[in-house]
Amino acid sequence: MRVLCIGECMAEMVPTGGSQDYRLGFAGDTFNTAWYLARSAPRVQVSYLTVVGDDAISAQMTKFTRDSGIDDGLIRTSPDKTVGLYMISLDKGERSFSYWRSDSAARALADDVDHLRKAMADADVIYFSGITLAILPDAGRSTLIDAVKEARAAGKEIAFDPNLRPRLWASMDAMRDAIMEGAAVCDIALPSYEDEAHCFDDPTPQATARRYVDAGADTVIVKNGSGAVIVFEDGTWSESPVHPVTDLVDTTAAGDSFNAGVLAGYAKGAPTQSSVAFACNLARAVVQQRGALVPIAADELTLDEKT
């Protein structure tokens, strides 16, 4: 089974205590999912498709990708660009983020349509997000959506996390239109209710699921923080309980790791209910540690395929 994740990985500066001391890391929504997937499904080939620069930080990022067990063979290089960057600031325990990504190399990830098509042809599952769509220029976004649509018609499984980020879009309407275009070409939609309620005025998680089903998704899995996960599949609703943590540390990458759990389950041929339960366990472990990419204990990585 080959899973292709498409999007942007950024350099990350994490404060280490002193007011001017930072540790360099690498993260980004679709990359985080690829990272957790590589950990939780070692037999799955996970590839990451993006564009980086031709400089030292880009080489470090590509090496990190490789060292994480993610195939870097589809990463293209743009000689006159570099990778995006974000810095985490801490003020009395509250995190805030500053971004330098508006001219990042990843914005060209859909410029080479032949590369995109070939990468998709070689994959069984294709995963992208609303952030992947947000960073692209209009032409690139259309190219990506068209390529995904073709891949779906050719029998590939398409997974899409809308990952709504109004600040990355020219307007709320532009975001809503593009997200629903993404929804129309996916098999599995993985929205987060809090964001969807805010941006689409959905009164309930079921309303969110219904909107993605109506757009064309076969399976919709609605994350809802510490609330139950709502699943719509084959015309049937179900709920998966979430066991809220008592020691919530940092919700960064909760949704990204959850998506990795769902994809790991899919790749292993597990029923959706088991995949969602596994995804909840994985995300539960992630929110109890600081940072996007956290070490996960082996028992958190066990998927019960029988349930």
- Catalytic residue annotation: 256
Q: Pick the closer one to ligand ADP by CB: 62 or 252.
A: 252
Q: Pick the closer one to ligand ADP by CB: 120 or 260.
A: 260
Whether the Cβ atoms of residue 15 and residue 85 lie closer than 8 Å to each other: no
Whether the Cβ atoms of residue 47 and residue 70 lie closer than 8 Å to each other: yes
Min CB(282)–ligand ADP separation in Å: 8
For residue 284, state whether it binds ligand ADP (rule: CB under 6 A).
Answer: yes
Q: Which of 28, 130, 140, 255 binds ligand ADP (CB under 6 A)?
A: 255
The Cα–Cα gap between 84 and 197 comes to 29
For residue 302, state whether it binds ligand ADP (rule: CB under 6 A).
Answer: no
Q: Which of 244, 290, 304, 307 binds ligand ADP (CB under 6 A)?
A: 244
DSSP 8-state secondary structure symbol assigned to residue 228: P
For residue 68, state whether it binds ligand ADP (rule: CB under 6 A).
Answer: no
Min CB(251)–ligand ADP separation in Å: 5
For residue 248, state whether it binds ligand ADP (rule: CB under 6 A).
Answer: yes
Q: Pick the closer one to ligand ADP by CB: 52 or 253.
A: 253
Min CB(153)–ligand ADP separation in Å: 28
For residue 73, state whether it binds ligand ADP (rule: CB under 6 A).
Answer: no
Collapse the DSSP code of 113 into the 3-class scheme (helix H, G, I; strand E, B; otherwise coil) and give the result. helix
Min CB(43)–ligand ADP separation in Å: 24
Q: Which of 204, 251, 302, 307 binds ligand ADP (CB under 6 A)?
A: 251
Task: Name the phi and psi angles at 99, rounded to 5.
Answer: -120, 140
Collapse the DSSP code of 150 into the 3-class scheme (helix H, G, I; strand E, B; otherwise coil) and give the result. helix
b/e per residue 83-100 (b: at least 16 CB within 10 A): bbbbebeeeeeeeeeeee
Whether the Cβ atoms of residue 112 and residue 76 lie closer than 8 Å to each other: yes
Min CB(102)–ligand ADP separation in Å: 23
| Burial zone of 307 (CB within 10 Å; 0-12 exposed, 13-18 middle, 19+ buried) | exposed
How many residues line the site for ligand ADP (CB under 6 A)?
Answer: 18
For residue 30, state whether it binds ligand ADP (rule: CB under 6 A).
Answer: no
Q: Which of 10, 287, 301, 303 binds ligand ADP (CB under 6 A)?
A: 287
Distances (CA, A) of 138 to 103, 110, 128, 185: 15, 10, 16, 17
Identify residues 173-232 at the interface with ligand ADP (CB under 6 A): 192, 223-226, 229
Nearest to 46 by CA among 262, 307, 298, 264: 264
The Cα–Cα gap between 91 and 114 comes to 46
For residue 283, state whether it binds ligand ADP (rule: CB under 6 A).
Answer: yes
- Specify the stretch interacting with ligand ADP by CB under 6 A; choose among 43-51, 93-101, 142-150, 277-285: 277-285
φ/ψ bin of 139: left (φ > 0), alpha (ψ from -120 to 50), beta (otherwise): alpha
- For ligand ADP, which residue has the nearest CB? 255
Q: Pick the closer one to ligand ADP by CB: 28 or 53.
A: 28
For residue 285, state whether it binds ligand ADP (rule: CB under 6 A).
Answer: no
The Cα–Cα gap between 98 and 255 comes to 20
For residue 254, state whether it binds ligand ADP (rule: CB under 6 A).
Answer: yes
The Cα–Cα gap between 14 and 155 comes to 41
Q: Which residues bind ligand ADP (CB under 6 A)?
A: 192, 223-226, 229, 242, 244-245, 248, 251, 254-255, 258, 280, 283-284, 287
